[in-house]
């Protein structure tokens, strides 16, 4: 079993952190018509597999972090008084398989970009092109 990481961040409509929210991690198919939802997944506090509580509670910055088996799909349920009787439900979620390797949280299969932009980063050029199969990206570095 390989564990992956998931970082959840909850804010209100104005972007303020929602501290104290419950973040439930459920295996699928999940019964989300009740709180707590079921079945709850086994979650861990680190990649080594140290068991922790489910739900996780968001901190003062609205963050909750958990590790779990990264080959399964999960349903994530956010419960907070601001949501009233309508929790936020996210189905078909994964735990990032690149945890601990510089990857981001949430999605799986993250591959860090290691290309060099074409063009001189000299304070004059404003548009650069990155060629990376299968996608070409154009981005702006020097804003005026």
The domain segmentation of the chain, as residue ranges, is: 3-93, 113-144
pLDDT, residue 56, reads 96
pLDDT, residue 42, reads 94
pLDDT, residue 47, reads 85
Burial letters for 39-51: b for 16+ Cβ neighbours within 10 Å, e otherwise?
Answer: ebbbbbeeeeeee
pLDDT, residue 87, reads 94
Q: Are 118 and 137 in contact (CB under 8 A)?
A: no
pLDDT, residue 107, reads 43
Fold exhibited by the domain 3-93:
Immunoglobulin-like (2.60.40)
pTM of structure? 0.68
Contacts of 115 (CB under 8 A, 6+ apart): 130, 131, 132
Cα angle, residue 103 at apex, residues 117 and 13 outer, rounded to 5°: 95
pLDDT, residue 75, reads 95
Task: Give me the tens of pLDDT residue by residue for the chain, a chain 144 residues long.
Answer: 688 999 999 998 899 999 999 999 999 999 999 999 999 999 999 988 899 999 999 999 999 999 999 889 999 999 999 998 999 999 999 887 764 444 444 444 444 555 666 666 666 655 555 555 555 455 554 444
pLDDT, residue 96, reads 79
């Amino acid at each position: 079993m390989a564990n992956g990481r998931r970082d959840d961040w909850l804010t209100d409509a104005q972007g303020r952190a929602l501290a104290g929210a419950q973040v439930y991690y459920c295996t699928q198919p999940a019964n989300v018509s009740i709180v707590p939802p079921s079945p709850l997944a086994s979650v861990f506090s680190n990649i080594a597999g140290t068991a922790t509580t489910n739900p996780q509670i968001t901190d003062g910055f609205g963050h909750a972090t958990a590790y779990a088996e990264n080959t399964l799909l999960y349903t994530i349920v956010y419960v907070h008084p601001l949501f009233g009787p309508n929790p936020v439900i996210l189905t078909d979620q994964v735990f990032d398989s690149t945890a601990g390797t510089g990857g981001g949280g949430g999605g799986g299969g993250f591959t860090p970009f290691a290309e060099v932009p074409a063009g001189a980063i000299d304070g004059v050029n404003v548009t650069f092109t990155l060629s990376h199969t299968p996608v070409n990206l154009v981005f702006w570095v020097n804003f005026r």
